[in-house]
Amino acid sequence: MRLRNPLNGFKYAAEGVVHVFRTQRHMKFHFLIMALVLLLSLVWNLHRWEMLVLLFSISMVLVAEMFNTAVEALVDLVTQSYHPLAKFAKDIAAGAVLIAAINALAVGFLLFFGDNRWEDVPELVGVHKPTMPTIFVVAAILTMVYLIIWKVAGGKGRLLKGGVVSGHTALGFFLAATIIFLRPGIPVAAMAVAMALLIAQSRVEGKIHTIKEVVLGALLAVAVSAGIYWLLSGSR
């Protein structure tokens, strides 16, 4: 009996995220808002617990939207004709998204504008720097968001295989940029870049991506990581 690949579950889940992003207009809007809010969280210098609350609220909206899409697909599979219960199920699912979105707006308002924090933003930007864990989490999420957007817009391949941009290469160069930022120095930088190049080479040799696609993946990761690590946090 053939054993199942334990990574298949993750692969199918990732394909589900891509499918929702590709087919649902609201999901694209949620992703764009998430990217903007995460960038603002660095400017506002949110504390770690505030970042956790913010990420949890954002996740609730995305999960609710995905459940809403799943319910709509299931109802359409069962019946194509109008039925009060079918409408009832879709309305409830849509209501869940609405509640999650209102909660996220309330959380965002309290975190960004509560206690007159708006007036303190210039001082926070000029004096304080976000912590490294916060910067890393934001950079990683933004890299993933831009990667998904680029792959879906290209309309080629899947999230974990193929596509107009190499996700594995982007991950490799993102980690390399993180290592260089944390431990600056020629030997460390050389090893980090070599690791990323080996990942890119494996994608080309495996005929999964072209040279252009791995270069685009590298540029995406370097642009996001450099923009956040050096421009927002300042070089160390």
Residue 65 annotated as catalytic: yes
The model carries a pTM of 0.65
DSSP secondary structure letters along 3-59 = PPPTTHHHHHHHHHHHHHHHH-HHHHHHHHHHHHHHHHHHHTT--HHHHHHHHHHHH
Does 108 share its domain with 145? no
Give the pLDDT score at 223. 87
Our count of domains for the chain comes to 2
Catalytic residue among 15, 50, 65, 119: 65
Does 82 share its domain with 116? yes
Low-confidence ranges of the chain (pLDDT < 50): 1, 126-127, 235-236
Does 78 share its domain with 160? no
Q: How many Å from the N-terminal Cα to the C-terminal Cα in the chain?
A: 55
Give the pLDDT score at 64. 92
- In terms of residue numbers, what domain contains 158? 130-236
Give the pLDDT score at 164. 76
Does 30 share its domain with 112? yes
Give the pLDDT score at 135. 78
Give the pLDDT score at 235. 41
